[in-house]
Amino acid sequence: MGHIVNQEREYRLLQQRLDQNITGAPYSPVFIRILQLLFSPAEAAIARKIPLRPVAIAALARKTGLEPEDLRQKLLIMAEKGLVFDFEYKGQCHVVLAPVVIGFFEFVYMRSRDNLDLRELAELFEEYMFRDDRFARDVFRETTQLGRTLVREEALGDYSEVLDWEKASQVITTAETVGISLCACRHKAGHLDKACAAPLRTCLTFGNSARILINKGMAEAATVGEAMQVLEQCKQAGLAQIADNVQHAVGFMCNCCGCCCGMFQAVRTFNIRTAIVTSNWAAQIDSSRCTGCGLCVKACPVEAITVDSASGAERPRAVCEPELCLGCGVCYTACKLGCISMASRDRRVMVPETTFDRMVTMAIERGKLSNFLFDDPSRLSHRALGRIAAVIEKSAPVKALMAVKPIRSAFLTAIAAGANIKR
């Protein structure tokens, strides 16, 4: 009986560890069941001791009490399942615990596999993520998000102000390595018998992310030409392009439908309007030409367009809510009369330059900066500094200061410098 209690304790501690991630993992009996299906009790015991930032396996071995080679073999199995990331850095193998998203949820469903009950997991993930809003609000609270919208370049004409990182084609053609995987969201929906007819092999990864996934069999190596074909196929299928919310070294590009995508569901189901960062454009509809056919309404993945058929109007016409519009341009392609154009927003969207900038910004906004910087509970200095940082970041004056862009930028620079010091 004590053995069973100890096993349950390991999963509860692992849940608490995952909840320290920037995107969180709130407790639920359903989530504990997901962890039990994915992690063995021994794996859970190891996983909860892995820092949120990369750690050398040699250092982790000292922390767990396992021999380095024994630990490495166990971590390799976990990495194959998509539960941890492992990679070589300066001749040493490092590992980091995968969050729920973008993390082990995607890695479970980015390929077909027969060593897991994917239908049971799909039912559990669906219940955990969408039967109530706790998980979605943990992941998508505040304004800096994991994903940002890419506008369709063909909808902009000859816009000189569009930047390279805003172009899907540029993200693909400049990538050193490209990987193609199954769309995790549609694959999961397929196991629930409610996937749409959109293509399934549509998830694109780039650079280091692609290399790791290809190495673990979660993505197929692809050429730039093949990736561009996938992009064109997805545009024809009415899918929106959502990319890694960074300017440099973009790690992924999803091709998303409004019905299956978890990010879009957060917008549609729970009205979390900031779940996806918009592009710098919004749809503009020429009401003098619109006939109210409704094709753009069906195409919009976040239901930002409606048909106004109020009495007194000369004829029904489509109306776009600019605050909800993602600026993806899917409606532009759907409109057969050329009534829709993409207009530049009055205020440009702030996109972090690098993944580190994004993570620190998200940590500040979510009150988790101490978890991100000082996440090794075995060291007294980290515990002490973590408590201090937690007090500082939750204070009202600091929150107000972070809203001032120059101060925020200087703060991030200082944090980056401090975090890069070798311990």
The answer to whether residue 60 sits within a structural domain is yes
Mean pLDDT lowest for which of 196-205, 218-227, 305-314, 322-331? 305-314
Report the pLDDT value the prediction gives residue 371, as an integer from 0 to 100: 82
243 in the same domain as 150: yes
Domain boundary among the residues 204, 239, 270 is at 270
Percent of the chain with pLDDT over 70: 86
The answer to whether residue 356 sits within a structural domain is no
Q: Give residue 238's region: left, alpha or beta (phi > 0; psi -120 to 50).
A: left
The answer to whether residue 104 sits within a structural domain is no
Predicted confidence (pLDDT) at residue 210 exceeds the cutoff of 80: yes
Mean pLDDT of 383-407: 66
Domain boundary among the residues 215, 244, 270 is at 270
Report the pLDDT value the prediction gives residue 315, as an integer from 0 to 100: 82
Chain segment 364-381, per-residue pLDDT in tens: 888 888 887 777 655 656
Report the pLDDT value the prediction gives residue 421, as an integer from 0 to 100: 43
Provide the residue type at 396 as one letter: A
Burial class (CB in 10 A: 0-12, 13-18, 19+), 360: buried
Q: How many other CB atoms are there within 10 angstroms of residue 177's CB atom? A: 17
Mean pLDDT of 15-19: 96
Burial class (CB in 10 A: 0-12, 13-18, 19+), 15: buried
293 in the same domain as 254: no
Q: How many other CB atoms are there within 10 angstroms of residue 206's CB atom? A: 23
Report the pLDDT value the prediction gives residue 92, as an integer from 0 to 100: 85
**Interatomic CA distance for residues 187 and 262, integer angstroms:** 12
Report the pLDDT value the prediction gives residue 358, as an integer from 0 to 100: 92
179 in the same domain as 142: yes
Domain boundary among the residues 216, 250, 270 is at 270
232 pLDDT band, cuts 50/70/90, is: very high
Query: CATH no. for residue 92?
Result: 1.10.10.10
Mean pLDDT of 45-60: 91
Chain segment 125-148, per-residue pLDDT in tens: 999 999 999 999 999 999 999 999
Please say whether the beta carbons of 201 and 254 come within 8 A.
no
Stronger pLDDT, 381 or 225, i.e. the higher one: 225
218 in the same domain as 246: yes
The answer to whether residue 361 sits within a structural domain is no
The answer to whether residue 121 sits within a structural domain is no
244 in the same domain as 286: no
Report the pLDDT value the prediction gives residue 95, as an integer from 0 to 100: 93
314 in the same domain as 235: no
278 pLDDT band, cuts 50/70/90, is: very high
The answer to whether residue 355 sits within a structural domain is no
Please say whether the beta carbons of 272 and 140 come within 8 A.
yes
Query: CATH no. for residue 310?
Result: 3.30.70.20
1 pLDDT band, cuts 50/70/90, is: very low
Nearest to 21, CA basis, from 351, 345, 325, 372: 372
Report the pLDDT value the prediction gives residue 31, as an integer from 0 to 100: 98
The answer to whether residue 349 sits within a structural domain is no
Predicted confidence (pLDDT) at residue 29 exceeds the cutoff of 60: yes
- What does the block give as tokens for 296? 């753009």
Nearest to 221, CA basis, from 180, 189, 164: 180
The answer to whether residue 296 sits within a structural domain is yes
Provide the residue type at 350 as one letter: M
pTM: 0.90
Report the pLDDT value the prediction gives residue 161, as an integer from 0 to 100: 73
55 in the same domain as 12: yes
Report the pLDDT value the prediction gives residue 405, as an integer from 0 to 100: 64
264 in the same domain as 140: yes
Report the pLDDT value the prediction gives residue 286, as an integer from 0 to 100: 95
303 in the same domain as 386: no
Mean pLDDT of 165-188: 97
Report the pLDDT value the prediction gives residue 423, as an integer from 0 to 100: 37
86 in the same domain as 22: yes
Report the pLDDT value the prediction gives residue 64, as an integer from 0 to 100: 92
150 in the same domain as 233: yes
- Residue 244: which domain range? 134-270
Chain segment 183-195, per-residue pLDDT in tens: 999 999 999 999 9
Inter-helix orientation angle 57-64/68-80, to 10°: 110
Predicted confidence (pLDDT) at residue 397 exceeds the cutoff of 80: no
Chain segment 69-87, per-residue pLDDT in tens: 999 999 999 999 999 988 8
Mean pLDDT lowest for which of 2-16, 96-110, 381-395? 381-395
Mean pLDDT of 234-248: 97
**Interatomic CA distance for residues 71 and 73, integer angstroms:** 5
Stronger pLDDT, 416 or 186, i.e. the higher one: 186
258 in the same domain as 141: yes
Predicted confidence (pLDDT) at residue 172 exceeds the cutoff of 60: yes
Report the pLDDT value the prediction gives residue 73, as an integer from 0 to 100: 95
The number of domains in the chain is: 4
Report the pLDDT value the prediction gives residue 382, as an integer from 0 to 100: 65
